[in-house]
Structure formats: structure tokens, C-alpha cells
Structure 1
Amino acid sequence: MNLISRIWKREWPLHLMLIPGLMFVIVFSYIPMAGIVMAFQKYIPTRGLFGSPFVGLRNFQYMFVYPDIGRIFFNTIYIAVMKITAGLFVPITIAILLNEMSKQWIKRTFQTLVYLPHFMSWVLLSGILIDVLSPSTGVLNQLLGLLGIDPIYFLGNNRWFPYVMVVSDVWKEFGYGTIVYLAALTSINPSLYEAAEIDGAGRWKMTLNITIPGMMPIIVLMFTLNIGNVLNAGFDQIFNLYSPQVYESADIIDTFVYRMGIEQSQFGFATAVGLLKSIVSFIFISISYVFAYRFANYRIF
């Protein structure tokens, strides 16, 4: 008891500091979870959660026979997997290239410039992309016109839209990922490069045999943690850039839930779809942390 008392006296200020964050999580994360009950109701706003009729699993049954539900899940996984893959490859490549630069001021300037888009919202960036990719006045289509290529409606073409989402997401976030991998590079023992240079190894051989293996633990960690995001294709980005013209290739689970719940007032059905997504995402996140602990020795507790 004396030990517990001493620990409490030493750490009670830290526990007090947790209270605001804990209250925020309770109010905005746990209390709203009561709305899950709408997935089992034909929710009527005027009757509320306790007055709306209970329909059991009917919303889930309707979800599995909904004509476009398969396409929506495919779009979500397809875009998310491409983002995860490109979001790993590009930052790793840029981090290795920056690590090879000898002039620090160029390295720091480039690192700062590519990091800036991370702080911009998709509301702002979507306006920039709409102007740049415009088929009539966009800079990119004007350059294509100089090469004799007809204008492409990137944001209104089902063929191009998913790739635009991936490229723009990588452009926005690869600066942050680059910093993570640059930090991993600092943990590599410089004497390994010196020994390799004495043995006659060039920069390419050093990269393949020292740099990449030295980064492998953090690469495995980031990959396994990203498994939990396989059903998160980026609502903010797609919602600000898509249109009915590209629903076939752009409609994902989150945008579908928004349209069903907010625009069409099918609250029970939308909640059922969102609940299923949350359950599957929780399973993926749990699996990813198991892999992260097994292959990268990463653990939360």
C-alpha cells in the first residue's frame, strides 16, 4: 500500500492531464456509439432511438442484396490497396534518394516543400486539383494539347478517376512518410557503409545490401499497420472530387453511407453498412497489430 501511495503521489498530475482527453473521447466517440441501434431499426427521426420500430437484421439482409454493394466494396478495396502500395513505395524511394544527397540545404529545402501538402485539407486541395485537371483550362490538359493529345476529363472518367485519387493522395502524404523513413535511416550504423566502401561496393550495392535491409523493420511495421486501413479509401478526398459521372469507379463505402443516410434518409440501412465496415476494419486492425508484433516487434502495451 505504501508503494501504491508513493506512485499515486508521484503520478497524480499525469492522470489529471488525461481527464480532458478522456472526456473528449467519451463524449465524441463512446456516447455516439449508442446510435448503432439504428442498424436494427427502421429509424424515424421524430420517434428517436427508443420509439423507432425494431426490424432485426432486415437492414443487413437488404445490404447483401443491394445491386451495387459488391461494386462499392470492390472500389473501396481497390483504391485503398493502391494507396497503401504507392504510399509505401514512393516515400521509401524518396527517403533513400534524399539520404544520398550531400548538400544538406537542398535536402532540407526539398523535405520541407514535400511535407507542406500534408497540412492542407482536401477541401483546399480539391479546388487546386479541379483547376489543374480541368479538360478546358487545366494546366495538365494544355500540356497534353501541345503534344497533340486530346483533353482528358480526369475527374469525370471512370477509367482515370481511381488513379487520380491514388496519385493525389501520394502527393499529399508522401512527405510525411519520407520523414518516417529518413528517421529509420539514421539508425543504420555508418561503419557498415565504410566497410562496404573499403570492400569496393558502390552506392547501388550499399543501397541493396545495407540501406534497404536496415529500413526493413520500419517498412514491415508501416505495412502491417496499414492493413487496418484497407477499407478506408479516403472519404474527404473522394467526397470533394467525385460526381455522379464516376460513381461506377469512385463510390466507396463511406460516400455510399453518406448518400444513403444524409441525402436519402435511409438511416437504418446506412448505419448497418457503416457497422459492418467498422467490424471488418476492427478485425483487420487486430490482425495488423498481431503481425506488427510478430514481424517488427511492435506492441501497444
Structure 2
Amino acid sequence: MTLAQDRRLDLHYEAAVGGGIPLVQPMKHQLAGNDVLKMMGILNGTTNYILTAMQEDGADFADVLADAQAKGYAEADPTNDVDGFDTAYKISILASIAFGRQVPVEGVYREGIRKVTRTDMAYADVFGYRLKLLGIVEPVEDRVRVRVHPTLLPKTHPLSSVNGVYNALWLNGDFVGDVMFSGRGAGSDPTASAVVGDLIDVGRNMLIGGPGSALPYGEGMPVESIDTLRTRYFLRMIVGDRPKVLGQISMALGEHRVSISAMEMRTISRGENGEIVFLTDTAQESDIRAALAALTPEQGVERIESVIRVEG
């Protein structure tokens, strides 16, 4: 990037994010007059295929992953996809373009989808949500928070209807408002479309003798910690058969400034463990972690099964 800038040469990489979906050029040019207020993307077709199949077929992660590998959607070693690395690389590129300063991938908070279960999806459906692996960018004063993790989105959000191997990017700008790009995010034809488009752009610059179009990045963008994030949370836990367990859990959460907005509870048979799912009101990440650490078998909580952030 620096070498291309110094020598005023073209550097194009449209296919690096979103395959055939035009994302890099619109953000560099057509949306350059906007301050990006928030950006959320489904940027990995493999994980979106897996989550869609789990949702629609009620299948387990391991079974769907094996099916995706058999169909060629997932690599023999799926780590890069299912552990969120690929999405982290792509969202760091988009964040760097959006703010004109390099956002290092090392600063991206990352969780994958290995721990997602069809049970989580079933409860999410009851609450009116869909589960997606998202890359999320949001400015925080003079810093930026960039994160990748499983996320619950309202069924009415446009990203919730992006299924299978498709990718999409939703963006909110101060002037343009909400914008969404979607399409085939991988595969030989979509990738070729993006590469050929870049080559044509380079050729046009050569014909007119124009300067290179490498984006001039400023110094690195400071990255905000996930600990200061304020959002809602989906919490699923296994609890013992004991009196006042709900009251003890509510008290422990309340002591860490976490309040409950909705709850689902699987009937507890006498002498057996039960399952409780909470949707919280907006809370800070650090408070959620402290509250969950305080939930022990003494309060009736045998284990925490799932902690999923909620958007929208």
C-alpha cells in the first residue's frame, strides 16, 4: 500500500472483500462524503451457509459443517472461516477504507461459530431474532471498535434475510442513511467479475495518464476495547432444581447493573436441571462478564451455555 502510494501506482483489491459485490470502490468514492456511523456485514459465505442450514433444517453444527465440506463450501481445515478469521480480515479492510486510517486486524475482537447450537437458534426464533456471524464497525469518539462474533438480529433487519452462501454489507452514513449491498460473495465467476473490473479501471487510468488510486491512509486508527461495548445480550444457562433460583440469578445480575427484558424457561422436573434464557436490557460488556462470573452453583447456576450479543 505504501509503495503504491509513493510511486503513484494503482492498487486494486475489490475481490478481497465480498467477492463479486462492489464494496471497496463505492466506499472509496460514492460514499466518501459520509461519516460512517455503523457498518455490519455478513462477509463469509461458508459460515452463513452453515448458520442458514442449522436454522432451516434444525441440524447440528458438526453435521452441517461436514455437508459444507462435501459440497466444497468449506475447506478441509475450516478454521479460517468458522473461527471468524476471514471475516476479521475483511472487516478490517472495510474499516480502514471507511475512516481513511489503517485498522489492524490484530485490533479486531473475534469469536467464531463453533459454540452456536440449534437450541440457541430455536430460542432466538421465539424472541423474534435470526443468528448471523457479523463483522461490525462503529466509531467511538476518536477511536473505532471493530468486532466479529455471532449476533442476534431482528427478523425485520435486512441482513436477517441474507441466507446460504450470499454475503451482504449494511452501512449507515450521516448523509446517505441506510445502504445495503448484497450478492454472491465467493466463487470463480463473482471473483472474476471483481478482478476484471479492477483491470479495466487500471487500463482507463493508464490511457488518460491518471495517478494511481491506492487509498492514502493516515496513521493507524486507535481501536476501542470490546469491554466498553453497550448492547443487549442473550444469555442461556443451565440451572439446578432449587428454591428461588430465579430470584438469586436476578439479584446477581442486578448487582452488576444488568436488568432482564425477557425470559424463557424450560420446565424443570423435580430433581433435574432446567434451562433458562434471558434477553437483557442494554448493558456494558464488562458488567455482563462480571455478572456471569458471579453466577455459581451456590446461586443455582450449573453452567453458562451461551452468551450472544444482540443488535437492532
Please confirm whether the aligned pair reaches a TM-score higher than 0.5, indicating the same fold.
Answer: no
Q: Which has the higher contact order (CA 8 A, sep 6+)?
A: 1
Query: In proportion to residue count, which structure has more helix?
Result: 1
Computing the radius of gyration from Cα coordinates, the structure with the larger value is 1
Query: In proportion to residue count, which structure has more strand?
Result: 2
Q: How would you bin the TM-score normalised by the shorter chain?
A: under 0.3
**TM superposition score normalised by structure 1:** 0.28
